[in-house]
Chain A
Amino acid sequence: MWHIKFLNICRSLLWPSRPEPSKSRKIAGYRLIFSGFSMLLIFTLIGAQSIALALSKPKTSNHSYATINDKARGAILDQKGRILASTVPVNILYADPKHIFNPEEVASALLPYVPKLDKPTLIKRLTKKGRFTELDRKLTPKRHSAILQLGLPGIYVKPATIRIYPQGREAAHIIGAVDRDNNGIAGIEKSQNETLASGENVYLSIDTGLQTVLRESLDTQIKTFEALGGAALILDVKTGEIMAATSLPDFDPNHIMTSTDTARFNQVTKGVYEMGSIFKVLNTAIALETGAIDMQATIDVSKPIRVAGQLIDDYHPIKGSIGLAEILVRSSNIGSAHISQLIGSETQKNYMKQLGLLSASPLEIVENGVPLVPQNWSHITTMTVSYGYGLSVSMVQAAAAIAAAGGDGHYIAPTLLRRNANEPIEKLRIFSTETSMAVRSMMRLVVSNKIGTGNFADAPGYLVGGKTGTAEKVENKGFNRKANRVSFVATFPANDPAYLIMMMVDEPIGQKHSYNYATAGWVVAPAIKEVVNQIAPILGVHPVDITKPENNQNLLPPMMLDGKESVYASF
C-alpha cells in the first residue's frame, strides 16, 4: 500500500515522531533534499520571471500631446519657400450630450466663448442625440483656458489639425482648398493630393511677391473701369513657369464655403475665351515662318472684307496699303485676315496644334480648360482665328503660345510647379530665331511707336513689347459690341524676352479720364506698365538706355511705319 506509506512519510515530516537513532540520519537527508528542491524551484521561478520581464516589450503611452504626426499633410510653398498652405494644430470644442444634465445652464455659461453660435442653436446642439456634437473648430488658447476654468461636465476639448492659408486671397485659385477631412477639393490641393497627403511639401512656381503686385494692379483697373472682373498671369518665358496667376473676383481659401461660384471660377486656367487681337502676334509669326509674306510686302487694308455674311473691318479704318509690321502695330483685322489667306487653313491649324492651342494644356491643376475648337476649320474660320475669334483658349495657353512667338521661338509647356535648377526643359522649336526677332521687334513697336495701340504700357528702360486685344463677348449666338473683354500681352525686355505678362479685364466701362474709351490700350496697358515697373527690380531686370545700339541688337533695324522710320525708343 504505497499511499499509506506516502502519508506516513508526510506525517512523519510534519509531525515527526522521535526518530529512532538509526533512522534520524535518513530523515535529515530527506529534509535536506526537500529544502534544496524547494529553493531551486523558487529561484528558478524568480529567474524565469526576470528573464520574461527583461524580454518583454516596454509599455508605451497611448496618450500623445502632439497632434501633428509625421504623416501630416505637406505644405504648399511658393518659389522662394514662402508658405501658401500649411497644417497647424487646433483645439476642437465639443460636447457629449449624455453628460450634460442641464443644457440651459451649460449653454448660458458657454455662450460668451462660442461667438459663432447663438443660444437656441447651442441648446439644440447640447441636446442632440449621440455622444459627440462639435461646438467650435478653431478654439483660441484664451477661450480654451476660459472654458476649462468653467469646469462644465460634458464639455470637452480635443486636439486636431486644420489647413490654413496665410497668404489669404493671393493665388487662391491656384492653391485651391481642402475639405473637413483635409482632402484636396480644388487647385493644387486636389491635383497634388497624393503627394501632400504623404507628408511631402509641394513647391509652386508662383512667387508671392509678384503675385501681390499683379493682383493689386488688376484690382485697381477693375475698380477704376467698373469692370465685372479680370485675370492676369506672369510667365517665365525661358522656363515656362507661371510666376503669378490671379483671377478676380477671388475668394479666401480659409473660408471657401462662404465664397460664390463666380469667385471660385478660375479665369486664368479654366475659362476659355476668344482672345481677340493678341492672336495677331501668332498670325504674324506663322506668316513670316512659312514665308507667306515678308517684311517688305504691303497689303491693301482700305476695304472691309465681307465673307459668308460677316463683315471684317477695322476699329480705326486705315487707308491704302500697309506692311506686316504696321498691320500688327495698328491691329488691323482686315490685314490679318488677308495674311491668313496667304498662310492657308491647314498650315494655320497645324501651327495652332503645335502651339498647344487645340487641346488642354498639361497643367498641374484640375481646373484646366479645354479649348473650343471649330469642328470645321473653314475659310472664314481661318480669317477669324487670325485676329482672335472662332477659337477659344485659356489664358495660360495663349500666354505660352505667344511666349514662343515673341520669345526665342521655342514652345515650352507652362507649369505651376517649381523647376529644379538643373532640370532639363522640354523645348519645341516652332519659329526660327529670325521670325521671333521680327515678332518681338514688332511687339516693341506696338508699345514704343506713337501709332501703336499699347503706348501706355511703355515702362521706361524696360523695353516692353506687347499687343492689345479687345474681344466682343458672345451673347445670344452673336457678339455684343458693348460688352468687351480687353486684354494685353506683354514681354520684357523686348531685346531678350524673359518674362511675359498677360492681363484681361472683363467688361470695362469707359471713364472720363479715358475719354470714354474702354479699349485694352486704355484699360490694361497702364496696368502693365505699373506691373513691369514694380516687378522688374524684384526679378533683377535692370532698366537700360534703349537708345544705345547694344540694347537693341536683338531687334530688327528700324522699320518704316506710317511713312516714317520707326525707332524702338520713340514714343
Chain B
Amino acid sequence: MRFVLLSCLIVAVLGSGLYFAKLTVDEQYRTLKQLELEIKSQTEHNYVLQAEWTFLTRPERLLRLSHSLLGMNAITPERILPISSIPMRRSVTTSIPNADAGVENVAY
C-alpha cells in the first residue's frame, strides 16, 4: 500500500513539474516567435526605408538639385590638383625672416 501511495505521489510531482516546464517552454516559444515577427517587420521597414533613401539620393536627383538650388556644376580639371602641389607650411624658426613682425607675416 505504501508503495502505491508513494508511486502516486512521485507521478503527481513529476507530472506537475513537466506541466510547468512545458508552460514555461511555451511562453518562451511565444516570446521567440514574437521577436522573430518583430525582426521581420523591422526588416520590412528597413527595406522600405532603404528604397526611399535610394530614391531620394539617386544621383540624377542630386545632380538636378545641386545644380538648381546650389548652383553647383561639374568640377573642371583646373580645380583638381595633386596633393603634392599644395605648398607645405614652412618652419617658423627657419623660414620667417622677420619673426617678431607678428602673425600677419607668417607665410604658408
Contact = CB atoms under 8 A, between A and B. Distances in A.
Interface stretch (B47-55, B89-97, B100-108): B47-55
B51 A86 contact: yes
Interface residues of B, number: 42
B80 A82 contact: no
B14 A40 contact: no
Interface string A148-174: 000000000000000010111010000
Given A168-B58, A170-B58, A462-B77, 9 more contacts: A36-B5, A40-B4, A51-B18, A64-B37, A64-B40, A65-B41, A209-B59, A211-B59, A460-B78
* Chain A interface bracket (under 10, 10 to 19, 20 to 34, 35 or more): 35 or more
A216 B73 CA distance: 13
In the A-B complex, the 4 residue pairs with the smallest Cβ-Cβ separation, listed nearest first, are: A66-B40, A50-B15, A543-B77, A212-B59
A58 B29 contact: yes
Given A66-B40, A88-B48, A534-B74, A51 B15 contact: yes
A54 B26 CA distance: 10
Interface stretch (A9-17, A41-49, A310-318): A41-49
B47 A212 contact: no
A216 B76 contact: no
Interface in B19-64: 19, 21-22, 25-26, 29-30, 33, 37, 40-41, 43-44, 47-48, 50-52, 54-55, 58-60, 63
B37 A65 contact: yes
A40 B54 contact: no
A61 B32 CA distance: 12
A358 B21 CA distance: 73
Given A44-B11, A53-B19, A68 B54 contact: no
Contacts of B43: 66, 68
B33 to A, nearest CB: 7
Contacts of A69: 40
Interface string A48-91: 01110110001011001111110000000000001100111100
A82 B78 CA distance: 30
B37 A36 contact: no
A215 B58 CA distance: 13
A387 B33 CA distance: 68
A216 B40 contact: no
Contacts of B44: 66-68, 88-89
20 contacts: A39-B4, A47-B12, A50-B15, A50-B19, A58-B30, A64-B37, A83-B54, A86-B50, A88-B44, A88-B47, A88-B48, A89-B48, A166-B55, A166-B58, A167-B54, A167-B60, A208-B58, A209-B59, A216-B60, A533-B77
A36 B50 contact: no
B8 A40 contact: yes
Interface of B: 1, 4-5, 7-8, 11-12, 14-16, 18-19, 21-22, 25-26, 29-30, 33, 37, 40-41, 43-44, 47-48, 50-52, 54-55, 58-60, 63, 74-78, 80, 82
Contact of B75 (A44, A47, A167, A537): A537
A44 B10 CA distance: 11
A83 B51 contact: yes
A460 B8 CA distance: 97
A412 to B, nearest CB: 27
Contacts of A462: 77
Contacts of B11: 43-44, 46-47
Nearest to B13: A47
B10 to A, nearest CB: 9
A539 to B, nearest CB: 12
A129 interface: no
Count chain A CB atoms within 10 A of each CB in B1, B33, B40, B47 and give the residue with the most: B47
Interface in A190-242: 208-209, 211-213, 215-216
B25 A58 contact: yes
Given A60-B33, A83-B51, A87-B47, A212 B60 contact: yes
A66 B40 CA distance: 6
Contact of B19 (A54, A68, A211, A213): A54
Count chain A CB atoms within 10 A of each CB in B15, B30, B40, B82 and give the residue with the most: B15
Contacts of B82: 542
Contact of A47 (B14, B54, B76): B14
A209 B52 CA distance: 17
A459 interface: yes
Contacts of A46: 11-12, 15
Count chain A CB atoms within 10 A of each CB in B18, B30, B60 and give the residue with the most: B60
A254 to B, nearest CB: 10
Nearest to B49: A88
A168 B60 contact: yes
Given A87-B47, A216-B60, A543-B80, A43 B37 contact: no
A271 interface: no
Interface string A384-421: 00000000000000000000000000000000000000
Nearest to B59: A212
A40 B4 CA distance: 7
A461 interface: yes
B98 to A, nearest CB: 35
A32 interface: yes
B1 A36 contact: yes
Contacts of B74: 530, 533-534
A92 B62 CA distance: 32
Nearest to A48: B15
A324 B82 CA distance: 37
Nearest to A169: B60
B71 to A, nearest CB: 16
Contacts of B60: 167-168, 170, 212, 215-216
